[in-house]
Structures are given as structure tokens and as C-alpha cells.
Amino acid sequence: MGRTIPLPMLILAVLGFCYMLLPILVVVLAGLTAGEFLTFPPEGLSLRWVVAFLQSEKYLSAFFFSFRLALLTMIVATILGTAAALFLSRTRFIGRGAMRAFFLSPVVLPGVVIGFSLFAFYISTGIGLTRTIWGLWIGHILYSTPYVIGTVGAALASYDVSLDEAARSLGASPMRTFRKITLPNISQGIQAGSIFAFIVSFGQFEVSLFLSAPNAEPLPIAMYNSLRYKFDPSAAAAGIFAIILVTASVLLTNRLVNIGRLLEKK
């Protein structure tokens, strides 16, 4: 057994890893501080801010609101994104490339732009979505769906269409073919896309800033608002829970996917 990665690459990889993990470490340690203010390094370790978070009506409701919002966003984004990816990969027409780029544009557009455009749209059309839960949900769906289109699109790109053709000529209708053949073979892409959608929605800040209703703030907005007035370590404690939730959802899905593999092998 030899090392298969050249040493310089390995060093770079470790550095990159540290670079990505450091902010997380800072948040976790800051949330565990024993001091009165949000500082780093922390002034001694304690769970007092974690307890404060768990007792804070404002943070807890924001946390669970974000959770529900991300879950509902994930469901709609997964359905829309999968349908869009299928349409883009299965049809041939002039302007398909442009359409794909358009569908994926929310990934590259700054969130501020999307948030502001929707905000302006809601206000100018007066369709009653300005600063409502529904308006916020729509914004999150718009922002998350491209991630599903991306991952499902990648799964479909390597999908062998003759599998579908074989199923059709063996007697399966288009709908049955999709359910019994296509779907099981692109499910990994769909699952990856839906985790992405969940995480992206859960951490979304800019779109929420413009669209969230005053009585229903998602967690990032709640943290931002409280930090504006008070340098309160319970925001970092809230961050700890957000990190735990996201990590757990990734690990859980990973596990589910692998269990699926194992079951298949019998």
C-alpha cells in the first residue's frame, strides 16, 4: 500500500481543508465561551450560551422556522428541478442551451440581486407576497432549484437512454418506464440535489433579507439582527446547532444511500 497522492498535492489538500474548517472551529469555540461577549479565542469554555440559545424563544423559533422552510423548499425544488433536468436532457430544440443557462442562472447571480428583484416584483405587482412566508418560500425555491437541476442533469448526462428504450419495447408505458427504470438509476443525483437544496435554503441570507416576514425570521436573519445590536455569543451557539443540523443531514443521507446499495446487493 503506497501513498497515491504526490506530497505537494497532499500539503495543499490539508491546507485547503484547514482553510475550510477554521471558520467552523471559530464559531464552535466562540459559542462555547464562558465570557460575556463574542470573542475569539474564547475566555474559557462553558455551555452557558448553548443553554441560552436553547432557552431563547427567538432563536429556537427561528431555528425551527428555517428547518421547516428548508424542508418545504427542498421538496418543491427537488420536484421542479428533476422535471426541469429531464426536460433539458430529453428534448432537442433551438435555444436549449440558452434555456439551461437561464435555469441555472440563480447559482451565479448574487443572492442580493435575486432577493431585491423578487422584492421589487412583489411590491410593484401588489400580489400580496411582499414580506410573507409564501413570498419567502418562493424566493428560496427559486434560489435552490438550480442545484437540483445541476446534480440531476449530471446524473442524466451519464444515463444510457437505451435502458428506457429497452423497457418501452418490453411493454412498459412512458410513465412506468420512468418510475421503474429511469428514477431508480438517477436517484443518487436527485438525493444529492435535494440535500444541496436543503442546505442552501437553510443557510440562505441575502434573499431572506429582502423577503422574510417580520414575524417569521429564518435563523441567519435572526442571528444577523441580534448581532447588529448586541455582540451576543448565543448567535455563535445558534451557529453550532446549524452546523450540527447540516452535518447530520449530509451524514444521514449518505448513510441512507449506502444502505440502499447494500440492500440491493442482498
Partner 1 sequence: MSSVEFQGVSKKFGGTVAVEKTDIAIEQGEFFSMLGPSGCGKSTTLRMLAGFIAPTTGRILVNGRDITDLPPEARGIGIVFQNYAIFPHMNVFDNIAFGLVERKQDKATIKRKVEATLAQVGLTGYEGRFERELSGGQKQRVALARVLVIEPEILLLDEPLSALDKQMREEMKFWIKDIQKSIGITTVYVTHDQSEALTMSDRIAVMNEGRMLQIGSPVDIYEKPSSRFIAEFIGDSNLLRASVTELTDTGCVVDLGEGVAVPARVSDAVSVAPGEPVGLLLRPEMVRLMPAHDGEKPRLSGKIVDEVYQGALRRYRVAAGTHELVVEVPNRPELVRMAAGTPVDLFWSAESGVAVP
Task: Provide the binding-site residues for partner 1, judged by CB under 8 A.
Answer: 160, 162-163, 165-174, 176, 180-181, 184-185, 264-266
Could you tell me the smallest distance in angstroms from the CB atom of residue 152 to partner 1?
A: 17
Do residues 45 and 55 make contact, with C-beta atoms less than 8 angstroms apart? no
Q: Measured between alpha carbons, how far apart are the two ends of the chain, in Å?
A: 30
Q: Strand, helix or coil at 146?
A: helix
Do residues 62 and 217 make contact, with C-beta atoms less than 8 angstroms apart? yes
Could you tell me the smallest distance in angstroms from the CB atom of residue 180 to partner 1?
A: 8
Could you tell me the smallest distance in angstroms from the CB atom of residue 187 to partner 1?
A: 9
C-alpha cell of 40? Answer: 475569539
In the bound state with partner 1, the residue whose beta carbon lies nearer, of 69 and 156, is 156
Residue 47 DSSP symbol:
S
In the bound state with partner 1, the residue whose beta carbon lies nearer, of 7 and 175, is 175
Contacts of 200 (CB under 8 A, 6+ apart): 143, 144, 147
In the bound state with partner 1, the residue whose beta carbon lies nearer, of 127 and 166, is 166
Give the separation between CA 189 and CA 171, rounded to whole angstroms.
27
In the bound state with partner 1, the residue whose beta carbon lies nearer, of 57 and 160, is 160
Contacts of 52 (CB under 8 A, 6+ apart): 233, 234, 237
Could you tell me the smallest distance in angstroms from the CB atom of residue 91 to partner 1?
A: 15
Could you tell me the smallest distance in angstroms from the CB atom of residue 82 to partner 1?
A: 17
Cα angle 169-173-177, degrees, rounded to a multiple of 5: 80
In the bound state with partner 1, the residue whose beta carbon lies nearer, of 68 and 168, is 168
In the bound state with partner 1, the residue whose beta carbon lies nearer, of 180 and 255, is 180
Give the separation between CA 266 and CA 123, rounded to whole angstroms.
56
Could you tell me the smallest distance in angstroms from the CB atom of residue 1 to partner 1?
A: 25
Give the separation between CA 139 and CA 174, rounded to whole angstroms.
33
